[in-house]
A and B are shown apart, each in its own frame.
Chain A
Amino acid sequence: MAQGEIGISKLVLIGGSAGSLEALLDIVSNLDSAMQIPIILVLHRKSSSDSLLSDLLSTKTKIAVKEIEDKEKVQAAHIYVAPGDYHILFEADGTVALDDSEKVNYSRPSIDVAFESAAEIYGASLCCMLLSGANSDGTNGLRYVKERKGVAIAQAPQAAEVAFMPQNAIDNRVVDYVLDNKEIANYLNRLNAEKA
């Protein structure tokens, strides 16, 4: 892993679909509780399970976990969950905007939409990760993240419950690193340590 590249990310987005919940719980439980870098989770799921998901994640970490709201400013030391049934977009002033336009890749929130919008604003200071899933959502987003000099990471397909989504990104050559769950947590912890 290129040491020089680490430490510039100011925002981390993690996209996941089928089979990503287990991985997330695993990753989150291994995060440094002094994590300052905001992390936003963009997950395909039924819209009704919003608070359930934050509650579940809260049991695994001391970092504040909450569903992000429309026009809310992204703050340090938070893990946010993007709400179901809306796309999440990023504004230049550090806030987010929700959007209920057409589904993309049969999904809302769409990971592509979130990654592309974040890349637009955060450029080189964005890190995006793609976890388990049966959908090709996320690949185009990672491509754009890389175009804008951000860091693109895929969960190692053998570590993913459903390998298709991260494998698709790898096959399309849009990722910088392929990491298993433990390595993903370590990567984020190092990112945080270098930032401090």
Chain B
Amino acid sequence: MRTEIHITEEQLQLLLNSLWDLYGYDLNNYSKASLTRRVTRLMALDRFPSFAELLYKVKSDKHYLKHLIEEITVNVTEMFRDPPFYKALRNLVLPEIASKPFIRIWHAGCATGEEVFSMAILLHECNLLNKSLLYATDINPDVVEKAKKGIFPISQMKEYSENYMASGGTGDFSQYYTAKYDHVIFNKSLRERMIYSTHNLVSDSSFNEFQLVICRNVLIYFDKDLQSRVFELFDNSIEQLGYLALGAKETLKFSGIYPKYKQVEKEKIWRKEK
């Protein structure tokens, strides 16, 4: 019944070394437990009879790299995921940055964009969308392409609409999209405030200053060292009195930049005060 081939620590290291040597992809500071699981899954998915064959494929076929990166990163996401988080953004963060002439927000690790569209809806309802720009980046080019389109399965709209209402949404969720067959396309007025691009948090640097950086459920895939490095990168990208928002199970607490920040109530949101 179980046909999965589990790879060893040494094998994983061989794979990581090849990705670095051949393609300059540095996955060394990712959680090994997560990578092991994803590679095991990939081998089952692509029916590799052994680890050696996977390694051979990686070394001999440079097109396979894209697929590998797509499959070993976790791209799961939702609209208005954790409604209380969006409620906190709406009530505690947006009012504080509303007076800015221009609002720049960075979604780091945006996956297929559900989080970015949620944010755009929030901004719209706070009358801030027309002076905001949402920069959305991810390491995985495939998800960035998908996010750009703003097309999502219609089957998920019921759940997203419930999340939206639980997060304090003031309108009718269905006003934000047009349904076509089995999918929906979100309004152009939302999409035109977004800028999508690939960006690797491991190797790329800061590219702007933001009032709000949102990076949710990305850092859990990194080890502590890489987490600290990425926190430095964020600190360099957040302006004075700007905010950093993390996922439900992530914290700034043990990082070097922590002393400069103050937590917003009990939310996973911190404000840069020094």
Contacts and interface: CB of A to CB of B under 8 A. Distances in A.
A89 interface: yes
Interface string A89-113: 1111000111111100000000001
A97 B76 contact: no
Given A70-B220, A97-B220, A99-B221, A89 B249 contact: no
Given A89-B37, A100-B220, A70 B250 contact: yes
Contacts of B221: 97, 99
B248 A99 contact: no
A143 B250 CA distance: 32
Interface residues of B, number: 25
Contacts of B1: 140
B74 A117 contact: no
Interface in A49-89: 69-71, 83, 85-86, 89
A96 B227 CA distance: 15
A91 B33 contact: yes
B249 A99 contact: no
Contact of A102 (B36, B76, B217, B224): B76
A150 B274 CA distance: 51
B6 interface: yes
A71 B224 contact: yes
B220 A98 contact: yes
B32 interface: yes
A147 to B, nearest CB: 9
B63 interface: no
A101 to B, nearest CB: 4
B186 to A, nearest CB: 23
Contacts of A98: 220, 249
Contacts of B38: 101
Contact of B74 (A69, A99, A140): A99
Contact of A99 (B220, B224, B250, B251): B220
Given A99-B37, A99-B220, A143-B2, A86 B31 contact: no
B36 A69 contact: no
Contacts of B118: none
Contacts of B6: 120
Q: Which of A71, A92, A117, A121 has the most CB of B within 10 A?
A: A71
Contact of A89 (B2, B31, B248): B31
Contacts of A100: 74, 76, 217, 220, 247
A88 to B, nearest CB: 9
Contacts of B248: 47, 83, 85
Contacts of B220: 70, 86, 97-100
Contacts of B76: 100-102
Interface in A97-145: 97-102, 113, 117, 120-121, 140, 143-144
B9 to A, nearest CB: 7
Nearest to B41: A101
A117 B37 contact: yes
B249 A86 contact: yes
Given A71-B227, A98-B249, A99-B74, 11 more contacts: A71-B224, A83-B249, A91-B31, A91-B33, A92-B32, A97-B220, A98-B220, A99-B220, A117-B33, A117-B37, A120-B36
5 contacts: A47-B248, A85-B248, A99-B31, A117-B36, A120-B6
